[in-house]
């Protein structure tokens, strides 16, 4: 293994469950490059995100903290961007992964979807800054792009554009072989919402899926809890110009054309990953680079009768499909391990793990950082590890282990009483039989409830602890709940 400081390439997709990658057992989706990456690296089968919305999960990876600590509890609403101060970013008070690496001599690049604040100028210590001019994807074509201060319309596919720029950046780094680099490549696909995936796809992979039966996705009736959140959202959340079309979440389950479109976008990303890997090899970086492929969060494609995020039901759910993400880590010249890993890890843990792999974790003040270091799993070493992950989705806090999944609900609202959910994953792996409230399960439910409380009591920042009167940055997806609990004066914190 090399002794030089390795480069880091962190690829993150937008709205992709582990189920939507071939190497995780999906025989219908075409992902040969990701499958090859997994075969040569490490595939984590039980990787989860801390929150099934894009902005909070990205903030957690960049900072190692939970939403109740960094304050981003849902997607940052583009419609509010004109209210954000100049240069505002949601993680300004924290030392983020690119800032830490930049402070230790790394060149830093971000090429893709940011969705953590203002987009016109570089944020969080990043030097090379390429992004879209909005967080949401309304179309994969004709997007306004910013490249190091220059803004223009790119008519082609946004994923291909970001891949082109990533390949160019890798080639440019060859001129500075003694300086390691961090390249963040957060693609804005496969996305999975209308209008971006409405109708047949325009990309080259559409014909591969045009007649695909898509038996890899279950056909289920619409979940009544998806209808409940639609009604609440229409009542309390102003859509406005360019806002999300919430009605699409009720139309997309079992819509095979849109599902095939979604699959085709995954294949566009797969092709991009292949091009990035070729560029690393062509420019002499293959033996000294760690490549991480993951997603901001999972995504239901109709599983459990809902489409999209964990908050696409009322109350928010913590079902596996919305939180179980692909996590492939490759670095044969750097890492001492390959194969399949079944440890339960959280994407928040990438913060500690990458810093530890670079020898930087011990220098971080980390008493308030729940990110866990699983570097020993990358190197064939031994170490203690607890197979559990914690999740929070505003009114739902959850615990997951190999045996149990428990959704604990906020109980401080009189107008909106919410029920808990408990699933025995040994006998009910698809989480269909809710055991919460059963006398014979009371001991286990109490145990898991206390584990959740202990975790959040340890790490939550009172300023952003929604369950104890705290608030959010920019916006909440459940303002009606928090105003009922904490009074009509409850508002997102001042920016």
Our CA angle for 15, 300, 73, nearest 5°, is: 55
Does 449 reside within a domain? no
Domain membership of residue 471 (yes or no) is: no
- Contact present, 96 and 158 (Cβ < 8 Å): no
What residue numbers bound the domain in which 28 lies? 7-385
pLDDT per residue rounded down to tens, the chain (495 residues) = 333 799 999 999 999 999 999 999 999 999 999 999 999 999 999 999 999 999 999 999 999 999 999 999 999 998 899 999 999 999 999 999 999 999 999 999 999 999 999 999 999 999 999 999 989 999 999 999 999 999 999 999 999 999 999 999 999 999 999 999 999 999 999 999 999 999 999 999 999 999 999 999 999 999 999 999 999 998 887 654 445 567 899 999 999 999 999 999 999 999 999 999 999 999 999 999 999 999 999 999 999 999 999 999 999 999 999 999 999 999 999 999 999 999 999 999 999 999 999 999 999 988 999 999 999 999 998 889 999 999 999 999 999 999 999 999 999 999 999 999 999 999 999 999 999 999 999 999 999 999 999 999 999 999 999 999 999 999 999 999 999 999 999 999 976
Give burial (CB, 10 Å; 0-12/13-18/19+) of 483.
middle
Residues 6+ positions from 280 with CB-CB distance below 8 Å? 9, 170, 286, 289, 291
Considering the domain boundaries, does residue 342 fall inside one?
yes
Residue 111's CATH number: 3.40.720.10
One-character DSSP codes across 355-387: HHHTT-GGGS--TT------GGGGTT-------
- Length of the chain counted residue by residue: 495
Average pLDDT, the chain: 96
User: Residue 436 falls within a domain, yes or no?
Assistant: no
Q: Which two tokens stand for residue 454?
A: 């202990």
SS3 328: strand
Whole-prediction pTM: 0.97
DSSP assignment of 75-125, as one string?
PPPGGGGGGSPTT-BTTTTS--HHHHHHHTT-EEEEEE---SB--SS--TT
Identify whether 427 is part of a domain: no
* Cα distance between residue 292 and residue 329, in whole Å: 5
Q: How far lies 151's CA from each of 89, 128, 158, in Å?
A: 19, 14, 14
434's tokens:
């809710």
Write out pLDDT tens, residues 10-32: 999 999 999 999 999 999 999 99
Find all residues with CB under 8 Å of 457, minimum gap 6, and list them.
none
Query: From the centroid of its chain, how far is CA 404?
Result: 22
Let me know if residue 96 belongs to a domain. yes
When divided into structural domains, the chain yields a total of: 1
| Distance from C-alpha of 37 to C-alpha of 27, rounded to nearest angstrom | 17
Distance, in Å, from the CA atom of 393 to the CA atom of 55, rounded to the nearest integer, reads: 12
Are 50 and 41 a contacting pair, CB within 8 Å? no
Residue 192, both tokens: 């999975």
User: For residue 264, is it within any domain?
Assistant: yes
- Is 439 domain-assigned? no
Query: Measured between alpha carbons, how far is 360 from 117 in angstroms, rounded to an integer?
Result: 27
C-alpha separations of 327 from 6, 23, 293, 382 in Å? 19, 11, 6, 20
Cβ within 8 Å of residue 384, ≥6 positions away: none
């Amino acid at each position: 293994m090399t002794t030089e400081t390795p480069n880091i390439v962190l690829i993150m997709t937008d709205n992709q469950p582990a189920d939507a990658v071939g190497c995780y057992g999906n025989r219908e989706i075409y992902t040969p490059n990701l499958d090859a990456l997994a075969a040569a690296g490490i595939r984590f089968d039980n990787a989860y995100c801390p929150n099934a919305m894009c902005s909070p999960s990205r903030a957690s990876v960049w900072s190692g903290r939970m939403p109740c600590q960094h304050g981003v509890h849902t997607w940052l609403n583009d419609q509010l961007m004109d209210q954000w101060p100049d240069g505002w970013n949601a993680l300004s008070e924290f030392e983020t992964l690119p800032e830490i690496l930049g402070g230790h001599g790394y060149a830093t690049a971000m090429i893709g979807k940011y969705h953590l604040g203002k987009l016109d100028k570089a944020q969080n210590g990043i030097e090379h800054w390429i992004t879209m001019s909005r967080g949401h994807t309304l179309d994969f074509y004709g997007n306004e792009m910013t490249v190091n201060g220059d803004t223009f319309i790119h008519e082609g596919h946004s994923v291909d554009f970001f891949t082109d720029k990533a390949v160019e950046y890798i080639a440019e780094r060859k001129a500075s072989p003694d300086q390691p680099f961090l390249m963040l490549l957060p693609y804005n696909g496969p996305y999975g919402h209308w209008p971006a995936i409405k109708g047949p796809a325009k990309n080259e992979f559409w014909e591969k899926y045009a007649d695909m039966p898509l038996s890899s996705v279950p056909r289920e009736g619409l979940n009544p809890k998806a209808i409940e959140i639609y009604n609440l959202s229409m009542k309390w959340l102003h859509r406005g110009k360019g806002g999300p079309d919430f009605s699409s979440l009720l139309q997309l389950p079992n819509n095979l054309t849109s599902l095939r479109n979604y699959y085709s976008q995954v294949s566009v990303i797969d092709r991009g990953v292949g091009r990035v890997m070729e560029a690393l090899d062509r420019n002499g970086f293959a033996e000294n680079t760690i490549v991480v492929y993951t997603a901001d969060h999972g995504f239901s494609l109709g599983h459990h009768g809902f489409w999209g995020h964990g908050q696409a039901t009322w109350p928010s759910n913590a079902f596996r499909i919305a939180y179980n993400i692909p996590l492939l880590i490759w670095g044969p010249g750097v890492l001492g391990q390959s194969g399949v890993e079944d440890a339960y890890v959280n994407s928040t843990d990438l913060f500690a793990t990458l810093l530890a792999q670079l020898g930087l974790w011990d220098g971080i003040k980390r008493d308030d950082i729940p990110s866990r270091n699983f570097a020993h799993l990358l190197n064939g070493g031994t170490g203690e590890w607890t197979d559990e992950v914690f999740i929070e989705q505003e009114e739902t806090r959850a615990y997951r282990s190999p045996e149990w999944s428990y959704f604990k609900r906020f109980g401080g609202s009189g107008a909106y009483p919410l029920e808990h959910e408990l699933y025995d994953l040994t006998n009910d792996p698809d989480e269909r039989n809710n055991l919460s409230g059963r006398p014979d399960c009371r001991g286990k439910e109490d145990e898991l409830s206390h584990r959740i409380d202990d975790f959040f009591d340890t790490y939550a920042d009172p300023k952003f602890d929604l369950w104890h009167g705290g608030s959010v940055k920019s916006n909440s997806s459940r303002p009606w709940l928090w105003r009922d609990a904490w009074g009509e004066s409850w508002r997102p914190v001042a920016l």
